[in-house]
Amino acid sequence: MYKIAIGNITYRFDNLKDVMAKATPARSGDDLAGISASNMEERVAAKMVLAEIPLQRFLEEPLIPYEEDEITRLIIDTHDQKAFAPISSLTVGDFRNWLLNDHTTTDDLSYVAPGITPEIAAAVSKIMRNQDLLLVAQKCSVVTKFRDTIGLPGRLSVRLQPNHPVDDLKGIAASIIDGLMYGCGDAVIGINPASDSIPVLMNLNYMLDDIIHNYDIPTQSCVLTHVTTCTELINRGAPVDLLFQSIAGTEKAMAGFGVNLKMLDEGYEAVKSLHRGTIGENCMYFETGQGSALSSDANFGVDEQTCEARCYAVARRYHPLLVNTVVGFIGPEYLYDGKQITRAGLEDHFCGKLMGVPLGCDICYTNHAEADQDDMDNLLTLLVAGGVNYIMGVPGADDIMLNYQSTSYHDALYVRKLLNKRHAPEFESWLKKINLIDEKGDILPFKPTNKLLQIEKMEAVNG
Amino acid sequence: MDENHYLTVKAENIRENDCWEKLKSYTDARIALGRTGCSILTNDYLAFSLAHAKARDSIKMPFDRDRIGKELHAMGLETINVESSAVNREIYLCRPDFGRRLSERSKLLLDELNYQGADVLLVIGDGLSSKAVHKQAVPFIRQFLPYMDELGMTVGPVVLAKQSRVALGDDIAERMHCGLVATLIGERPGLSSPDSLGVYMTYKPYCGRMESERNCISNIRPEGLSYGKAAFKLAWLIENAYNMKKSGTALKDQSDDIQHYLTLKPHIKDTDILNIV
């Protein structure tokens, strides 16, 4: 039982998870779960209670029981006491002050990251404003490598997302050419296939591999399919760079995705053994998003933001190259409008980075949410200012396979120009070599003779 | 300074067109848009805005049950109107659980009706796109009904359900003692497909059926899956569901494969069906 008196009202909270849920900034998913604060004063009261709770308490009172959930066991069993030691005597409120202090350096944050549990990261984020989330996230550094280097200061990478509703090879190749000409693709060239048929997925893998190798592009490919399907592709000899999986914050919600830690362990070993990276060995790619645990009735009364942060504990076990929250994809019953989507995107990026996970963001919305492209512009600008590792590049921001809107190739140009962000260094050198950008990194006028336009004639593209 | 210097970019150079427009023939994705500086050109920005507006409007468009009812009556079908517990669109969007439950009034209506059951119940729900239902539901049913005649199956009165999610059909069908329900519902609209209809079929429907116990037919619209193909697919699923006494993941859709036909064959008069065999 936690309580606080404000004037002549005493606010009581049953347990730590109740404090956390009621302290969370308003969002439709927590209302749907029936766990949010009943009024604004109660929400602030919960934040005040939360600020006084020692960080140590989160190690003693798991929000989801240790015995019932393998992700709780992962969090507790792998907790790094040595890394936690410098912050172990702080309350949540003092932890916020410590994070924002100018004497707390990037190195300090990297040192304590393995000691920060998802619940601790989520707790402190709940008493932080948007600017706090950005300032601290920008101070974190999480750099990963496979064929290029992602997450360096002053850099921004982009996933080229060339989806097609029936996985047509030429249709996908056309979107890849378009994206590469705009300088996108340094995070990954990643396809969400419409099909889960093995022969179709094999062809997609071969096509991406041929394009990357023929044009000597310092990037990696990924066909985003279930871990078991991808393992099957590896067994059949497909050229798989990165293993992908959607993950969630509880064992039960993971089961809803048909996955558990053992399966991820096996998939990780399989893809790692291929040694396809040239400059690094980060070879996993995860996607997450607030609301997924509740949507499979697997949230255990825990607020959706804390469930999301628990995904990052799963992710960091596998030293991933890429992790992104797909922040507005799930719909308005979990994040109602542009304001809630924006807040969630900033929270997820902050929590991931604080825990040492290489967060990117699919800045996106569906057509039944109260949001539009202006909201995406705002969140894009904020996240890139805060040092997000990568964003999505979708032709014209309109994904014709998944039926939602994200950020476009043009949006990437915009935000690079506005905030002076360069590509991953290896990719930048390649773009210069093929005359797509100038010495300053600005995009050059397109030439019909550019050899990338020959991609459509490649054998792998024509089946 | 002479007046020519005010415009450092000549009008003919404002559009930096992409030189791969021909690739547009391979995909509906918004590629080869060209640019001015880093930004998309005015016409493309406005075209995107229009597509978004159409998708948004299709979600908010009220379900015109009178119109659909009249068209169905003209085909000799009876209709019944019901509502979910979501009293308006805003509540519908935020509370999917309300959209899966009948209103008290509708429960009472169906219980008092005491309908004695049919082999197949069709429910038309607005879902996330009334526009889809207005455009696609009746033409789809017109192609579908002859298959039920062939199977000798009875079809109940068509239920028109407002503010409905897919699972509302389970509750309706259970109260109407029907052996199988097919819910026709407006799908989550995309920019290039604001009017796409989905059909969800559940064998022996009752409250609490899981999503994995349904079969889904998606993207029904003239530019996607045609009415004829979709109608045969549903009929095939119904015949096989009754044959196997189950639906969902245990019933794999093999309606595209002539090896897996039971008594039903696609109707030849719908020319596009010829492509599937």
pLDDT of residue A312: 98
A413: nearest CA partner in chain B: B38
State the sign of the Cα–Cα–Cα–Cα dihedral A36, A87, A310, A69. negative
φ and ψ at residue A280, rounded to 5 degrees: -165, 170
A213 touches chain B (CB under 8 A): no
What's residue A126's pLDDT?
98
The continuous run of DSSP H or E covering A391 comes out as strand A390-393
- What is residue B219's predicted lDDT score, i.e. its pLDDT? 87
Helix (H) or strand (E) holding A10: strand A9-13
Q: 3-state SS of chain B? A: CCHHHHCCCCHHHCCECCCCHHHHHHCCCCCCCCEECCECCHHHHHHHHHHHHHHHHHHHCCCCHHHHHHHHHHCCCCEEEEEECCCCHHHHHHCHHHHCCECHHHHHHHHHHCCCCCCEEEEEECCCCHHHHHHHHHHHHHHHHHHHHHHCCCECCEEEEECCCCCHHHHHHHHCCCCEEEEEEECCCCCCCCCCEEEEEEECCCCCCCHHHEEEEEEECCCCECHHHHHHHHHHHHHHHHHHCCCCCCCCCCCCCHHHCCCCCCCCCCHHHHHHC
Buried/exposed A275-285: b ≥16 CB within 10 Å, e otherwise: ebbeebebbbb
Of the candidates B27, B52, B194, which has its C-beta nearest A171's C-beta? B27
Give Cα A457 to chain centroid, integer Å. 34
- Spatial distance between the Cα atoms of A25 and A128, rounded to a whole number of angstroms: 10
pLDDT band at B11; cut points 50, 70, 90: low
Tracing tokens 């062939």 back to the chain, one arrives at B150
- What is the mean pLDDT of the segment spanning A132-148? 98
pLDDT bracket for residue B277 (50, 70, 90): very low
Report whether pLDDT(B15) > 80. Answer: no
Average pLDDT of chain B is 90
Nearest residue of A to residue B27, measured between CA atoms: A171
Instruction: Decide: helix, strand or coil at residue A407.
Output: coil
Question: What pLDDT is stored for residue B70 in this prediction?
Answer: 97
Residue A362 annotated as lining a ligand binding site: yes
Q: Tokens 């172990």 map to which residue?
A: A88
- Cβ of B96 within 8 Å of Cβ of A333? The answer is yes
Region B19-23: mean pLDDT is 93
Instruction: Determine the distance in angstroms separating the CA of A225 from the nearest CA of chain B, rounded to an integer.
Output: 19
pLDDT in tens, A338-347: 999 999 999 9
Residue of A174, A366, A447 with shortest CB distance to B27: A174
CB B158 within 8 A of CB B141: yes
The residue among A265, A271, A268, A259 whose CA lies nearest residue A298 is A259
Band of residue A433 on the pLDDT scale cut at 50, 70, 90? very high
pLDDT number for residue A93: 98
Q: Is the pLDDT of residue A11 over 50?
A: yes
Report the C-alpha gap between A6 and A148 in whole angstroms. 54
A26 contact B CB<8A: no
Q: Tell whether A195 is in a known binding site.
A: no
pLDDT of residue B269: 54
- How far apart CA A438 and CA A447 sit, in angstroms, is 14
A286: enclosing H helix or E strand:
strand A284-288
Nearest-angstrom CA–CA distance, B49 and A228: 40
Bridge partner list, A337:
A370
CA A270 to chain centroid, in Å, comes to: 23
Q: Are A119 and A309 in contact (CB under 8 A)?
A: yes
What one-character DSSP code corresponds to residue A224?
-
Cα(A43)–Cα(A23) distance, integer angstroms: 5
The answer to whether the Cβ–Cβ distance between A398 and B94 falls below 8 Å is: no
Cβ-defined contact of B193 to A403 (cutoff 8 Å): yes
Q: Which residues contact A60 (CB under 8 A, 6 or more apart)?
A: none
Tens of pLDDT, residues B70-120: 999 999 999 999 999 999 999 999 999 999 999 999 999 999 999 999 999
Nearest to B133 by CA among B185, B201, B189: B185
B38 with A410: Cβ contact below 8 A: yes
CA distance B199 to A239: 37
What would the two tokens of residue B246 be? 């189950």
* Facing A456 at nearest CB: one of B23, B52, B189: B23
Determine contact, residues A240/A274, Cβ cutoff 8 Å. yes
pLDDT one-digit tens code per residue, A391-423: 999 999 999 989 999 999 999 999 999 999 999
Which has the closest alpha carbon to A180: B274, B32, B177? B32
- Non-local (6+) Cβ contacts of B180 within 8 A are B119, B120, B121, B173, B201, B202, B203, B204, B205, B238, B241, B242, B247
Q: What does DSSP assign to residue A148?
A: S
**Separation of alpha carbons B170 and A3, rounded Å:** 44
Interval A27-33 mean pLDDT: 96
| Whole-number pLDDT of residue B12 | 62
pTM of the model: 0.91
Q: How many CB atoms lie within 10 A of CB B49?
A: 12
Q: How confident is the model over B155-184, as pLDDT tens digits?
A: 999 999 999 999 999 999 999 999 999 999
Using the Cβ of B93 and the Cβ atoms of chain A, whether some distance falls under 8 Å is answered with yes
In which residue are the tokens 């719908």 written?
A: B270
Write out pLDDT tens, residues B118-129.
999 999 999 999
Residue linked to tokens 């994995």: B212
Q: For A59-107, what is each residue's pLDDT tens digit?
A: 999 999 999 999 999 999 999 999 999 999 999 999 999 999 999 999 9
CA nearest A367 in B: which residue?
A: B56
pLDDT, residue A214, reads 97
CB contact under 8 A, B192 and A398: yes
**pLDDT, average across residues A442-448:** 91
- pLDDT-based confidence at B274, cuts 50/70/90? very low
Q: Say how far apart CA A307 and CA A29 lie, in whole Å.
A: 12
Chains A, B: CB contacts under 8 A, how many? Answer: 129
Residue % of chain A over a pLDDT of 90: 95
Flag whether pLDDT at A238 surpasses 50: yes
CA B66/CA B62 separation, integer angstroms: 11
Contacts with A63 (C-beta within 8 Å, 6 or more apart), sequence order: A16, A17, A20, A72, A119, A300, A302, A306
pLDDT digits (tens, 9 = 90+) for A151-201: 999 999 999 999 998 899 999 999 999 999 999 999 999 999 988 788 999
What's residue A103's pLDDT? Answer: 98
Q: How confident is the model at residue B7 (pLDDT cuts 50, 70, 90)?
A: low
Cβ atoms A204, A168 nearer than 8 A: no
Interior angle at CA A340, CA A338 and CA A344, nearest 5: 115
CA B194 from centroid of its chain's CA atoms: 10
DSSP A299: -
DSSP state of A377: H
Average pLDDT, chain A: 97
* Dihedral over alpha carbons A52, A55, A60, A63 (to 10 degrees): 80
